[in-house]
A and B are shown apart, each in its own frame.
Chain A
Amino acid sequence: MFSTLIAFLPRAVAQGIPLLYGSTGEILTEKSGHLNLGIPGIMYVGGISGVIGAFLYERAAGTAEVIVPALAILITLLSSLLGSLLMGLIYCFLTVTLRANQNVSGLALTTFGIGFGNFFGGSLIKITNSDVPSITLTNTSNIFRTPLPFASKLGWFGEVFLSYGFLAYLAIAIAIVAAIVLKKTRVGLHLRAVGENPATADAAGINVNRYKYVSTCLGSMIAGLGGLYYVIDYANGVWSNNAFGDRGWLAIALVIFAVWKPGFAVLGSILFGGLYIVHNYIPGLTFATQELFKMSPYVVTILVLIIISMRRRRENQPPAHLGLSYFREER
């Protein structure tokens, strides 16, 4: 029993990290009053952009010995961040500057992003006339997956807490920083004000559009890292089309589960990650009943959604202006 748990927990965490990135990003975005349904697409783009960067670098470097670890990490991270930043800018331009409908823009962004990811995933080799048969970034992946040096000496403790690549710890760090910024700082207060009531925030001298732009773009970049983690770390650097699946939507579900608090999202992501794979660890399930177990994260989210709407506690509600665009002259 204990050994199963020790095997199960790291898998749950590894499943949860992409969700944590996605939901931390989405929480920041939603706090500014924007429901970004483009997150699934952004995560695909974040993943494929990192893959493109790493692929080009590995090809330029040639053999594994020549690859400089620091450079490989830097190039992969930067290209991933750039890709998701551009996606965030498209969304911001449409919904903040042009005040387009957020649901429609977000869904279009998801269509575009998933298409973009699968297109380049499928065609990268053809476009670059490469002679390798598939995109497998084992070298870059190994650099990203380097665990702490003393992890293997600490038995179960090392396995559960220290066996991950640095992107996993970065996800938790970002979530905690986001929680502190939102709750304790003036910037966080302003951001929440923008999401609750932009007109009041505007009257108080807060630059509403700047806050919306910055938080949405930052949110996109954080979410994009989730896609990167999935490919480079979880999937050992192998890109296969549609492998990322519906995790983007699950990240949005996690936002509700965490009642818009990044701190809760850390625990929630591990729980969701566990629910996502728990069917592999329960003995005696048939293939059919496994499928039923896979719906548990969604059922849990719906229950949370219902409960918070019934209890109406003010601190657990979505930002009041979520989904509405703000036009100064329309008061």
Chain B
Amino acid sequence: MKNNKATAHEPLFHIAKRDAVVWWKAWLIRLLALLAALIFAGVVTFFLTKENPLQIYATMFDGALGTARRRWSLGQNLAMLLCISLAVTPAFKMRFWNIGAEGQVLAGGLATTACMILLGDKLPSSVLLLVMVVTSILAGAIWALIPAFFKAHWNTNETLFTLMMNYIIMQLVSFFAYIWSVPKGSGQIGVINRSTQAGWLPKIGGQSYLLNIIIVAILTILMYIYLKYSKHGYEISVVGESENTARYIGINVKKVILRTLFLSGAVCGVAGLLLVAGTDHTITRDTAGGRGFTAILVSWLAKFNPLFMVVTSFLIVFLQKGATQISTKFGLNDSFSDIITGIIIFFIIGSEFFIQYTLKFRSFKKEANA
């Protein structure tokens, strides 16, 4: 029987697409992948530090959540990453690969900076804050609308376009950093309005990060409702699934692309505002700090669901903080956290395969029947 021609050429297993997996099974697979990744990362760390692996994980927890200050810093970083992830999500749902969030955040931040420096001593603080909010939202939105316009009209590749826009705004920030530098010619803006604190977002209850966290929490819920229950959200998912279907049922695809990217850029602008006026009170070309790219991972890992994004962005920020602590404690280089983050993301990306597909092994029952 073993030499039967039909079975001899059948491969050991083949891959088939799964039907929709029950949600808990899907999350179980992701959880297993995360565990496997943590174990693997632990092994790597062990070989580099020769420390007790349990000690390594304890250090990670300590680095992320050990003190009140660390918890606040974690909350702030989580809020910023989450905010940018929320911004890129509607575009991704539409299959518009906006990898220019980094630049859109900087555009918002630059607009905020301009208002703080140029209007800081001219306007009363409430008007100034209002002007800052409007200009930063517009700046972020315009930076996203430029590629969207060309995508909508000529189908220009948006991945590469938005990527290039990042570097243009970075150079603009460097340019203005020289124009407004303190002291002159240093190329550094330094803390803006240190004495008057004009344009600084107010502290709530003495905590400078609390306002940012509250704003982002509200944005998360709004974005969830917008994507899930509004007509716009529905149109976004139809365009994402199939542009032809969208056209057929009378959706104006161009309008949806432009509107969605306006929204995406606007939320990035808010993130820039929060970063510059809320926490940093200055701007450099690294103000966004790579979050525009990490946000894509966060959004994708959460399957574009804003509520899950709270979990995934917590995961990423936790890892970064924890790995930074490991590198400080064991005298390693800071970039260690990037390696750990990379490893864990590889595992989670890989696990998606087992959610969407199944391996079907060669069945031996047939032989018995034949």
Contact = CB atoms under 8 A, between A and B. Distances in A.
17 contacts: A37-B159, A99-B356, A100-B349, A101-B349, A116-B342, A118-B334, A118-B335, A122-B335, A123-B333, A253-B163, A288-B178, A291-B172, A305-B164, A309-B156, A323-B97, A323-B159, A329-B15
A119 B335 contact: yes
Contact of B332 (A123, A327, A330): A123
Contact of B331 (A126, A246, A287): A126
Given A309-B154, A329-B17, A109 B342 contact: yes
A6 interface: no
B175 interface: yes
Given A119-B333, A119-B336, A111 B172 contact: no
Interface of B: 15-17, 48, 97, 99, 150, 154-157, 159-161, 163-165, 167-168, 171-172, 174-175, 177-179, 185, 187, 290, 293-294, 296-297, 300, 331-339, 341-343, 345-346, 349-350, 352-353, 356-357
A60 interface: no
Contact of B160 (A256, A288, A292): A256
Contacts of A111: 290, 293-294, 338, 341-342, 345
A298 interface: yes
A115 B154 CA distance: 37
A156 interface: no
Given A115-B336, A327-B17, A305 B167 contact: no
Q: Which 9 A-B pairs have the closest CB atoms?
A: A115-B338, A112-B342, A122-B333, A288-B178, A118-B335, A295-B171, A98-B353, A309-B156, A291-B174
Contacts of A291: 171-172, 174-175, 177-178
Q: How large is the interface on A (under 10, 10 to 19, 20 to 34, 35 or more residues)?
A: 35 or more
Nearest to A295: B171
B167 A246 contact: yes
A44 B300 CA distance: 25
A253 B163 CA distance: 9
B324 to A, nearest CB: 12
Contacts, number: 165
B171 A305 contact: no
B179 to A, nearest CB: 5
Interface in A301-331: 301-302, 305-306, 309-310, 318, 323, 327, 329-330
B338 A114 contact: yes
A122 B339 CA distance: 13
A287 B176 CA distance: 10
A176 B132 CA distance: 52
Contacts of B297: 104, 107-108
B225 to A, nearest CB: 26
B163 A105 contact: no
Contacts of A306: 150, 154, 156
Contact of B338 (A90, A112, A246): A112
Contact of A305 (B48, B156, B335, B350): B156
B156 to A, nearest CB: 4
Given A103-B99, A286-B178, A288-B178, A302 B342 contact: no
Nearest to B333: A122
A107 B350 contact: no
Interface of A: 35, 37, 90, 93-94, 98-101, 103-105, 107-119, 121-123, 126-127, 241, 246, 249, 252-253, 256, 286-289, 291-292, 294-295, 298-299, 301-302, 305-306, 309-310, 318, 323, 327, 329-330
Contacts of A108: 297, 342, 345-346, 349
Contacts of B336: 115, 119
Contacts of A292: 171-172, 175
A172 to B, nearest CB: 24
A241 B333 CA distance: 10
Contact of A103 (B159, B172, B335, B341): B159
B353 A112 contact: no
Given A103-B159, A108-B345, A115 B178 contact: no
